[in-house]
A and B are shown apart, each in its own frame.
Chain A
Amino acid sequence: MDVGGCPLPEDRLYDLENDVWWKDDPEGGSARVGILGTLAAFAGPFRSLAFRPVEGTLERGRSVATVESVRLTGAVRLPVTAVVVERNHEVARRPRLLNDSPYDLGWVVRVRPVRPQEPGESLETARAVAGRLGERIRAQRIRCWPMTPDIELNEVGLECSAVFARLDEELSPRPPGDAVLLVTDDPTSPIEFVRWTDRTGHTVVAHRKEGPLYQFLVRKEADPKPRRRAP
């Protein structure tokens, strides 16, 4: 289901207090744990995940890994009392998986609950948490995008020509595939962005309007092809 523009899969359980999900393995007896996509969207690009050297039974709320983004340092905490049986070393190698695939490839640990009934008793369904998560998305102004912005440019108060000068300056040293989120209050920006994409060949992946603010998520292309429109 969709909550405030953010996907929330219904095939698992949630612990909103610790910002983690729980998905039972098909064979039973164990489950995967990962962080909420809303936390990843709030945090911005993660740049590290370090597993804690823990063994044996860990109580609910204990940390299994430390994560760092440009904004925050946080812990990945267990939603129930459990034993860690596997760590996702791929996500330690590529912490951006926490942003790009929080509910799938970005899982963090596989665990065995100490009391098999605890997840069902203390964790909640997507439907049950949707209202509170929606409030949090509004309060923290969380915006989920189809790809994670590598940087956010807040260019409120500038007119469009200056905005595009900043955008060009920001894009030029970046590798292809990087995404820049640009926020502007210039009401001509929707039209100007069509001209800009024609001129540069880069892509507007998504856009939205929030009050007076226009937001554009721009992806730098490897081989941009500018084009001319018929007048």
Chain B
Amino acid sequence: MAAYAHPEVLVETDWLQAHLNDPKIRVAEVDYDPAANYEMGHVPGTVLFDWRKDINDPVARDILSGDALTALFARAGVDDDTTLVLYGDFNNWFAAFAFWVFTYYGAKHVKLMNGGRKKWIAEDRPMTKDVPKPAPGQFRAHAPDAALRAYLDDVRKVLPDVKAAKFTLVDVRGPKEFSGEITAPPEYPTEHAQRGGHIPGAKNIPWAQAVKEDGTFKSREELEELYRAKGVTPSHPVITYCRIGERSSHTWFVLTYLLGYPDVRNYDGSWTEWGNLVRTPIEK
């Protein structure tokens, strides 16, 4: 079986269990719903990153600022040479989003625990409710890496290239959101846009198709098959999007690190931005 393009971004559960006492490793659980996950028990020594409060700007619709990231990493005890291992609920959905945000701000030693919280629990590995108090970390956020992020105008600009099959847009939402039958998944009924459908020319590959039943990523061959079958190839630049930009960072992770695509950006404005704009083209 071929290795992933950048296998160093993943660690397995048994590796993490063997490295729990390594002072150069910090583990963070990234949850959508910390009360039902981190607070019920977590990997020993793990700090919590609450997706809503810690990874997003508290006022504007944006990811957290560089200063806020510096403060977050100080609180979590992350230094420049710390390896930060992320895992979380919902098959690493929000952990992958945090990975994208942290990489955007120049963090170099970030990894995902393959299989996430679900696999750790299924394997009955040690858990605790104790919350660690690490010594303040020294990591400082770098200037953002613009090559990882797409904004509304970027997407508008590439529409002709998408039409000419020189650029790929990947919509990672469920098929019913893609077709416009529903405007939000049933579990998140309040996260609507005014209009349903997708950005013209986008290909629909739901993010969860990259993951196996046990929560781990599919093999490189299976992933290549999945994306190439829909015409998503490394020879064209790619922008991923979903509803609010989290699920699409999971697919951004898969294309960038597991398959080694050279030019992938995440459009975090996603459908809640596009589907609310006046006079913006939509396909159903």
Q: Are A66 and B122 in contact (CB under 8 A)?
A: yes
Q: Are A151 and B124 in contact (CB under 8 A)?
A: no
Q: Determine which residue in B36, B41, B89, B187 has the highest number of CB atoms from chain A within 10 A of its CB, and name it.
A: B36
Would you list which residues of chain A between 55 and 74 have a CB under 8 Å from chain B? Answer: 62-63, 66, 68-74
Q: Determine which residue in A62, A66, A68, A71 has the highest number of CB atoms from chain B within 10 A of its CB, and name it.
A: A71
Asked whether A86 is an interface residue with its Cβ less than 8 Å from the other chain, the reply is no
CA–CA, A52 to B40, complex, Å? Answer: 19
Chain A residues with Cβ below 8 Å from B127 are 75
Asked whether A145 is an interface residue with its Cβ less than 8 Å from the other chain, the reply is no
Q: Are B36 and A170 in contact (CB under 8 A)?
A: no
Option from A50, A151, A154 in Cβ contact (under 8 Å) with B122: A50
Q: Are A71 and B33 in contact (CB under 8 A)?
A: yes
The smallest beta-carbon distance between B115 and chain A, in angstroms, is: 11
Contacts A154-B190, A170-B189; A43 near B36 (Cβ below 8 A)? yes
Q: Are B36 and A42 in contact (CB under 8 A)?
A: yes
The smallest beta-carbon distance between A48 and chain B, in angstroms, is: 10
Asked whether A140 is an interface residue with its Cβ less than 8 Å from the other chain, the reply is yes
CA–CA, A70 to B89, complex, Å? Answer: 10
Question: What sequence of 0s and 1s flags, for each residue 189-224 of chain B, a beta carbon within 8 Å of any chain A beta carbon?
Answer: 110000000000000000000000000000000000
Question: What sequence of 0s and 1s flags, for each residue 111-126 of chain B, a beta carbon within 8 Å of any chain A beta carbon?
Answer: 0000001100110100
Q: Are A75 and B189 in contact (CB under 8 A)?
A: no
Chain A residues with Cβ below 8 Å from B124 are 52, 62-63, 75
CA–CA, A66 to B189, complex, Å? Answer: 27
Asked whether B23 is an interface residue with its Cβ less than 8 Å from the other chain, the reply is no
Chain A residues with Cβ below 8 Å from B186 are 151
Closest to B190 in A: A154
Asked whether B35 is an interface residue with its Cβ less than 8 Å from the other chain, the reply is yes
Question: What sequence of 0s and 1s flags, for each residue 34-58 of chain A, a beta carbon within 8 Å of any chain B beta carbon?
Answer: 0000000011000000101000000
Contact residues of A: prevailing secondary structure: strand
Q: Are B118 and A72 in contact (CB under 8 A)?
A: no
CA–CA, A62 to B122, complex, Å? Answer: 11
CA–CA, A75 to B123, complex, Å? Answer: 10
Q: Are B189 and A151 in contact (CB under 8 A)?
A: yes
Asked whether A153 is an interface residue with its Cβ less than 8 Å from the other chain, the reply is yes
The smallest beta-carbon distance between A57 and chain B, in angstroms, is: 14
Asked whether B37 is an interface residue with its Cβ less than 8 Å from the other chain, the reply is yes
Q: Determine which residue in A43, A73, A74 has the highest number of CB atoms from chain B within 10 A of its CB, and name it.
A: A73
Closest to A67 in B: B121
The smallest beta-carbon distance between A154 and chain B, in angstroms, is: 7
Question: What sequence of 0s and 1s flags, for each residue 18-31 of chain B, a beta carbon within 8 Å of any chain A beta carbon?
Answer: 00000000000000
Option from B33, B118, B189 in Cβ contact (under 8 Å) with A68: B118
Q: Are A66 and B121 in contact (CB under 8 A)?
A: yes
Would you list which residues of chain A between 68 and 93 have a CB under 8 Å from chain B? Answer: 68-75
Q: Are B187 and A74 in contact (CB under 8 A)?
A: no
CA–CA, A179 to B100, complex, Å? Answer: 38
Closest to A62 in B: B124
Option from A52, A72, A75, A153 in Cβ contact (under 8 Å) with B89: A72
Closest to A74 in B: B40
CA–CA, A140 to B34, complex, Å? Answer: 12
Q: Are A73 and B89 in contact (CB under 8 A)?
A: yes
Q: Are B89 and A140 in contact (CB under 8 A)?
A: no
Option from A42, A63, A140, A154 in Cβ contact (under 8 Å) with B121: A63
Would you list which residues of chain B between 147 and 200 have a CB under 8 Å from chain A? Answer: 186-187, 189-190
Can you give 7 A-B contacts (C-beta < 8 A)? A63-B121, A69-B36, A70-B187, A71-B37, A72-B33, A72-B40, A151-B189
- The residues of A with any CB-CB pair to B shorter than 8 Å are 42-43, 50, 52, 62-63, 66, 68-75, 140, 151, 153-154, 170
Given A68-B118, A71-B37, A73-B89; 16 other pairs, CB 8 A cutoff: A43-B36, A50-B122, A52-B122, A63-B121, A63-B124, A66-B118, A69-B36, A72-B36, A72-B37, A72-B89, A73-B37, A73-B117, A75-B121, A75-B127, A151-B186, A170-B189
